[in-house]
């Protein structure tokens, strides 16, 4: 199964992808997570991406497309779920071209729909584990011990791009450059919209109901 999870920053893509992966055994390919690990490792790619990420702008298409296509090529037979990619119409076109070269296509596109106000609250309250990548929220998804990862006891951090001013820029970037991707896909494929304003469990239920229907079709 080759799947894309679209949605605004903070819509819950990462949270839901982890649950989809646990249920369907796909590889989770998050462009944001890959970029952050490149930055942490101090690679050339990470250095090039850093200033764009910190300001809430998109990293140039050429860098992202090369990075993600190379990850997709390594994905297992079971398939993958793309999180944060494609994020521009040009990235979507390049992804289609690359898959078509191997006789492949995207099977399912889900779109998490959420209000901007809820996005701001989710992102400014997000805390992440720098070691295992687990994601929490100071109100909605608390760790058992405040500020500490349940999985490995590491101190949680706030992403530098989760400050209110950068979040505002990320939302602006999303509306200008990423929303058109929905229309681009909607022209020749089915996109399944999911109401992502509810709790993480409510959103998972909606996603699994939709995926189970599609799996039986």
Contacts to ligand AP5 by CB under 6 A: 7, 9-15, 31-32, 35, 52-53, 56-59, 64, 84-85, 87, 91, 122-123, 125-126, 135-137, 140-141, 161, 170, 199-200, 203
In three-state form (DSSP H/G/I as H, E/B as E, the rest C), the secondary structure along 120-159 is: HHHHHCEEECCCCCCEEECCCCCCCCCCECCCCCCECECC
Selected catalytic residue, list 18, 36, 122, 126:
126
Active-site residue, 122 included? no
Selected catalytic residue, list 19, 48, 142, 159:
159
Residue sitting closest to ligand AP5 (CB): 32
Q: For 95, what's the count of Cα atoms within 13 Å in the CB-facing half-sphere?
A: 24
Please identify, using beta-carbon distances, which residue of 123 and 211 lies nearer to ligand AP5.
Answer: 123
Please identify, using beta-carbon distances, which residue of 29 and 108 lies nearer to ligand AP5.
Answer: 29
Please identify, using beta-carbon distances, which residue of 108 and 206 lies nearer to ligand AP5.
Answer: 206
Shortest Cβ 30–ligand AP5 spacing (Å): 6
Active-site residue, 87 included? yes
Separation between Cα atoms, residue 15 and residue 134, nearest integer Å: 9
Active-site residue, 36 included? no
Shortest Cβ 211–ligand AP5 spacing (Å): 17
Separation between Cα atoms, residue 5 and residue 83, nearest integer Å: 6
Active-site residue, 159 included? yes
| Closest C-alpha among 62, 65, 61, 63 to residue 73 | 65
Could you give the angle at which helices 164-173 and 44-55 cross, rounded to 10 degrees? 100
Active-site residue, 13 included? yes
Separation between Cα atoms, residue 63 and residue 65, nearest integer Å: 6
Shortest Cβ 58–ligand AP5 spacing (Å): 4
Shortest Cβ 24–ligand AP5 spacing (Å): 17
Selected catalytic residue, list 13, 18, 36, 127:
13
Pull the structure tokens for residue 83: 């999180």
Please identify, using beta-carbon distances, which residue of 132 and 217 lies nearer to ligand AP5.
Answer: 132
- Is the distance from CB of 96 to CB of 190 less than 8 angstroms? no
Separation between Cα atoms, residue 99 and residue 106, nearest integer Å: 8
Q: Active-site residue numbers?
A: 13, 87, 126, 159, 170
């Amino acid at each position: 199964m080759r799947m894309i999870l679209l949605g605004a920053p903070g819509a819950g893509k990462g949270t839901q992808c982890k649950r989809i992966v646990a249920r369907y055994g796909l590889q989770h390919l998050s462009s944001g997570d890959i970029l952050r690990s490149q930055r942490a490792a101090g690679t050339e790619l990470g250095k090039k991406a850093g200033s764009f990420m910190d300001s809430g702008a998109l990293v140039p298409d050429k860098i992202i497309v090369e990075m993600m296509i190379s990850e997709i090529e390594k994905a297992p037979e079971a398939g993958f779920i793309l999180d944060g990619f494609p994020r521009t119409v040009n990235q979507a076109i390049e992804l289609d071209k690359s898959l078509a070269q191997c006789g492949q296509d995207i099977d399912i596109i889900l779109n998490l729909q959420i209000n901007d106000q809820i996005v701001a609250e989710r992102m400014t309250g997000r805390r992440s584990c720098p070691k295992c990548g687990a994601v929490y929220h100071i109100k909605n998804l608390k760790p058992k011990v405040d500020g500490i990862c349940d999985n490995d006891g590491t101190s949680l951090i706030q992403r530098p791009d989760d400050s209110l001013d950068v979040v505002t820029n990320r939302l602006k970037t999303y509306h200008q450059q990423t929303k058109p991707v929905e229309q681009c896909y909607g022209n020749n494929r089915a996109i399944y919209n999911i109401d992502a304003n509810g709790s993480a469990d409510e959103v998972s239920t909606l996603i699994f109901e939709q995926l189970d229907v599609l799996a039986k079709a």
